[in-house]
Chain A
Amino acid sequence: MAEPHLPERQSPLEPEHHPGSHGNFEHGVDVILSETRAGSILQLAAWPGEEKRLIEIIRKVTGLALPDGAGGGVNSGARAVFGFAPGKFTVVDEAEGLAQAFAGSITPAIGTLTDLSHGRTAIRIAGPKAEWVMAKFFAIDFALPAFPLGAGRSTNHHDIFAQIQRSGADQFDIYVFRSFARSFWKALCHASEEVGYEVQ
C-alpha cells in the first residue's frame, strides 16, 4: 500500500496557545498544559468475541500488553493504548504511520481500524493540581486507586466527548474532537487560572 500523502498538520490550538506562566502563579504553577501532538491516534474495534485476538494484534504491533478489565490501558511514553468502550481501544503513537503498521493485521473478520490522527487533539495536563482541575470538568473519580496508571475513561464535558488516559501519577492525556479542541483548551486554561498554570 502506498504511503498516503497527508498535509502537514497544524494545531487547532494555535490562536489560543500562549506559552508561559498564567493565572495565579505567584507561588508557583501547579499544572502544566501542553498539546502532545501525537503523530498517530487510532481507534480499533473488535467484533463481539474477537476482543482477545485484537488485543494480541495490538501487542504484536505496538509491544504494549493491555491489562484485563474495562478501561484498562498502558502508556510507555512514546506509545499508549487504552480501552474506552467494550471491545474498543484507542492506540496512540508519537510517530506517524501507525495505521500502516496495523494494515493487514486487522482483518474484516476481527474488527475495524479508524485513523483519527487528524480528527483528535491530545491535550496533556500535568502537575500536583491536575486531579483538582480535572475534577472540575468531569464527574468521574480521578483518585489513583479508582483511576489507575494507564487506564482510560470515556466521558464528556458540556457535550464535548473526551477520552482520558492517566499517563502519570499526576498527569492525564485528554483526547477531544479537533473541531472542539480550541474551545476546550480555553476552558481548561480558565479552569487552571486559580492554581497557576504554565503552557508549554
Chain B
Amino acid sequence: MLITCPYCGPRDVIEFTYQGDGNRERPQPASQDLDAWNAYVYDRLNPAGDHNEIWQHSGGCRAHLRVVRNTITHEILSTAFARGGHKSTENRAEGRS
C-alpha cells in the first residue's frame, strides 16, 4: 500500500503510523459533557468503505496527515496535511458510512 505524502510524495505504508479515526471531535478540555467525552473515546463509525483517518509520516517528514482510505480496497482516495483537521476542509468521506 502506497500513501502519497503531500511533502514527500508516494511512500510505502511501512513509513507511516496510523493515528486513529479522523472523524472524532475532541471536546473542549474543560467540558463536563460526559456523553461528548464518551463519544470521543469510544464511538467509531467503522465504515465498510471510505474512511477519514489520521496518519503520521513517522518514517519520513513526520507530518500528520488526514487520509481518506477505503477500508475494503485499501485504496487511498486523498491525503493532505492534518493541520485544521478533517472537518475544516473538503471531506470526501463525509456523510458516508
Contact = CB atoms under 8 A, between A and B. Distances in A.
A74 B59 CA distance: 23
A156 B8 CA distance: 13
B25 interface: no
A173 B18 CA distance: 30
Interface string A136-162: 000110000000000001111001010
Contacts of B7: 70-71, 85-86
B63 interface: yes
A185 interface: no
A48 B8 contact: no
Given A86-B61, A86-B63, A161-B59, A153 B8 contact: yes
B11 interface: yes
A172 interface: no
B8 A71 contact: yes
B61 A154 contact: yes
Given A71-B7, A85-B7, A155 B15 contact: yes
Interface string B35-57: 00000000000000000000000
B20 interface: no
B11 to A, nearest CB: 7
A41 to B, nearest CB: 18
A84 interface: yes
Interface residues on A, range: 10 to 19
A121 B6 CA distance: 28
B11 A155 contact: yes
B62 interface: yes
B8 A159 contact: no
A156 B59 contact: yes
B83 interface: yes
A12 B14 CA distance: 28
A139 B12 CA distance: 7
B17 to A, nearest CB: 11
A48 B11 CA distance: 24
Contact of A84 (B11, B15, B61, B83): B61
A161 B58 CA distance: 9
29 contacts: A70-B7, A70-B8, A70-B9, A71-B7, A84-B61, A85-B7, A85-B60, A85-B61, A85-B63, A86-B7, A86-B61, A86-B63, A86-B81, A88-B61, A139-B11, A139-B14, A139-B15, A140-B11, A154-B8, A154-B60, A154-B61, A155-B8, A155-B15, A155-B59, A155-B60, A156-B15, A156-B60, A159-B59, A161-B59
